[in-house]
Every structure is written in structure tokens, then in C-alpha cells.
Amino acid sequence: MAVKITKIGLMTSGGDAPGMNAAIRSVARTCAYYNIVCVGIYRGYEGMIEGDFKILTARSVNNIINKGGTILKSARSKEFRTKEGRKKAYSHIKKANIDALILIGGDGTFTGGLLFSEEFNFPVIGIPGTIDNDIYGTNYTIGYDTALNTIIEVIDKIRDTASSHKRLFFVEVMGRDAGHIALNVGVGAGAEEILIPEEDLGLERLLMSLRHSKQTGKSSSIVVVAEGDKIGKNVFELKDYVEEHLSEYEVRVSVLGHMQRGGSPSCFDRVLASKMGVKAVESLLDGKTNYMVGTINNKMELTPIKKALKIHSEINKELLRVSDIMST
Ligand code: F6P
């Protein structure tokens, strides 16, 4: 029989993402709407292990919808990967009379949440929050849209200097395991080539493409490289490689780094986060557990967390084709 939910624990975990605060606000306010207590768990699983909890009322989430980062803070916890760590966390959760958890994060967060839920038979719902957009079961994760807009703005600026100096820029963007960010900003910013983990372009093809663009009259170029691409060289090694093989190119490198995770969330992310927060609380009240909320074709849907973790989110092949045509 489903447990009657009167107190929900809420946390953010893993890499932060713009819009997490909007999701926290949404969960806290939906709880208030249904007369449920919402308990904020600080610093992800680290805070769960230490019992670092604070009640979140509808008013304690005022003025955060526009803020980047997460007011609950975040962490990647090593201790929670151990059975001992999870036992400590469970004892604090029980002591605080928390009946269910809402976890905002990415696949690491959900892997921990699923283990916890199965070990202690505890209701859990996930909200996908990561700039990487690499989670199966949702077309968009919270933070992705904002990150794309942040990155595009920066690459546009890089283009100004690249074209003034007739240079080639390798721009490294985040995405350890997935190329969604690189592919989308690459197309949006008019990149010459896009290197992503899902498709190994190969060094020869890269050289051919750059040679071709010089021959067809391009004076400057931008190549977007996902952090986790599989070409076998990092951006600095790529610079050396290209300069060595194509002497006509003067190359510079720009690694965008963690600025991609910051900033005020876009309207899209705020709305998405608000909708996901409502759906997460209502799903728990409906007796659902071990699901992740997601938006699929503009509808809120639930996907079993197990499935979300198992299935790889596919790269958009059509966008790859568009990108090829655009670099003609
Ligand atoms: O998962 C989101 C992400 O931003 C990845 O794109 C990136 O590889 C990673 O987090 C960086 O993690 P950290 O901030 O722990 O170095």
C-alpha cells in the first residue's frame, strides 16, 4: 500500500544548472498548495548523510526564480556510493519523518536515488536538471536552454575577433559524455565543424574540411569541440596538429569552462522547471515512485528512472546533417 505523503525531502545534486532554483521554488510552493511539508536537503547526498535539513515554506523561496546556481547547494558525494553512507542518510531521513524524496540532478543523482529507493523501499521522484541534456525520457533538461544561450553569446564574440584576425578557433564546450550542447551551439553559432563524443569525425576529415574552407574563400573559422569528444586529441593538441599540417592557419583555443553553468535561467528553463516541480509533487501524491518527470512533445510524462538511466539519449542525426550542409 502506498505511504501517505505528508513531508517531502528535496535536494539538488551533481553539477548545478540554471533553473534549479525555479524547480526548488516550484516544489516548495506545490507542497504548500497541498499542505505538505517541504524539507530542503543541503549539498545533495552529502547533506543527506549529515542531516543538513531545513524546512522550505512557500515564502522561503521568494525571489529565487531568476537566480542561477542552487540555493540548496550541490555536491558529488563519494560517501553516498557506499552502503554505509546510504544507511547514514536513511537514518537522518527517518528521524526527520520525511516520507518521500524529490531529486533534482542528472544521471549520477538518479543512480544514487534508485539505489537508495530500492534498498530502503523509499519513494523517489527525479527531476532532470543538467546543462548536458543527456537524459533519456525528456526532450529537455533544466539548464540546457540557458547554457545554449550563454554559449552562443560567447561564441558570437569569439567570431568577432576570429574574423578580424582571420583565425581559426577551437572552442571547447561542456559535455563529458554527450554532444547535445556542442551540436546545437555549433549549428546556432555557425561553426565550421563540430566534434562530439557520439561521432568521431577523424583527424583526416577535419583537415580536409578546413582545407576546403580556405580554398572556398573562408577567412576565419570556428570549430566547436565537446569536452568528451573522441577524436583523440584535446583542444590544445588539436591546435598544434592543425598548425603543423595546415600552415595557412593561425589557430587559437578557447575553453569556456564553468561559466556555461552559471547565469540567470532563460524563460524556457524557468517555465520547464515550474512545470516539472508541480508534476513531481503530484506524482508522489498519486503514489508513483522511481519515476523521472520529463517533457516529451510538450507534454509532462513519467519515465521509470531505471529506463532513463539505461537508455542513452540519442544525438539528433538530422541536426548533424544540417550542420554538414551548413559548412559547405
Ligand atoms: O554534468 C554537467 C557537467 O557540467 C558536464 O558537462 C561537465 O563535464 C561536468 O559537469 C563538470 O563537472 P564538475 O563541475 O564537477 O567539474
Does any domain span residue 301?
Answer: yes
Atom 8 of ligand 1 has which residue's CA nearest to it? 176
Containing structural domain, residue 11: 7-143+265-310
CATH number, domain containing residue 238:
3.40.50.460
In a mutational test of the pocket of ligand 1, which residue from 131, 172, 259 has the highest number of ligand atoms less than 8 Å from its CB? 131
CATH number, domain containing residue 82:
3.40.50.450
How buried is residue 4: exposed, middle or buried, by Cβ count under 10 Å (0-12/13-18/19+)?
exposed
Please, which residues bridge with residue 222 across strands?
A: 169
Q: Does the annotation count 132 as an active-site position?
A: yes
Atom 12 of ligand 1 has which residue's CA nearest to it? 15
* Residue 130 Cβ contacting ligand 1 at under 6 Å: yes
| 163 and 252 belong to one structural domain | yes
Does any domain span residue 315?
Answer: no
Q: 202 with 147: CB under 8 angstroms? A: no
Query: What's the pLDDT tens digit per position in 162-191?
Result: 999 999 999 999 999 999 999 999 999 999
Does any domain span residue 319?
Answer: no
Query: What's the pLDDT tens digit per position in 252-282?
Result: 999 999 999 999 999 999 999 999 999 999 9
| 109 and 163 belong to one structural domain | no
Residue 3 has pLDDT above 80, yes or no: no
204-212: Cβ within 8 A, 24+ apart:
206/231, 206/238, 206/242, 207/242, 207/245, 207/246, 209/327, 210/168, 210/242, 210/246, 210/249, 211/246
DSSP state of 202: -
pLDDT of residue 2: 63
Comparing C-alpha atoms, which of 195, 159, 197 is closest to residue 178? 197
- Count: domains in the chain: 2
| 279 and 217 belong to one structural domain | no
Comparing C-alpha atoms, which of 99, 112, 106 is closest to residue 47? 112
Does any domain span residue 316?
Answer: no
Does any domain span residue 22?
Answer: yes
Give me the half-sphere count of Cα atoms (radius 13 Å) on the Cβ side of residue 93: 29
| 134 and 120 belong to one structural domain | yes
| 139 and 150 belong to one structural domain | no
Query: Model confidence at 327, in pLDDT bands (50, 70, 90)?
Result: confident
| 99 and 65 belong to one structural domain | yes
pLDDT of residue 286: 97
Percent of the chain at pLDDT exceeding 70? 99
* Residue 18 Cβ contacting ligand 1 at under 6 Å: no
Please, which residues bridge with residue 223 across strands?
A: 170, 193
Which helix or strand (DSSP H or E) is residue 10 part of? strand 7-12
* Catalytic residue selected from 52, 99, 107, 132: 132
| 189 and 94 belong to one structural domain | no
* Residue 135 Cβ contacting ligand 1 at under 6 Å: no
* Residue 294 Cβ contacting ligand 1 at under 6 Å: no
Q: Which of 261, 282, 302 is the last residue of a domain?
A: 261
Query: What's the pLDDT tens digit per position in 244-253?
Result: 999 999 999 9
DSSP state of 60: G
| 12 and 101 belong to one structural domain | yes
* Residue 15 Cβ contacting ligand 1 at under 6 Å: yes
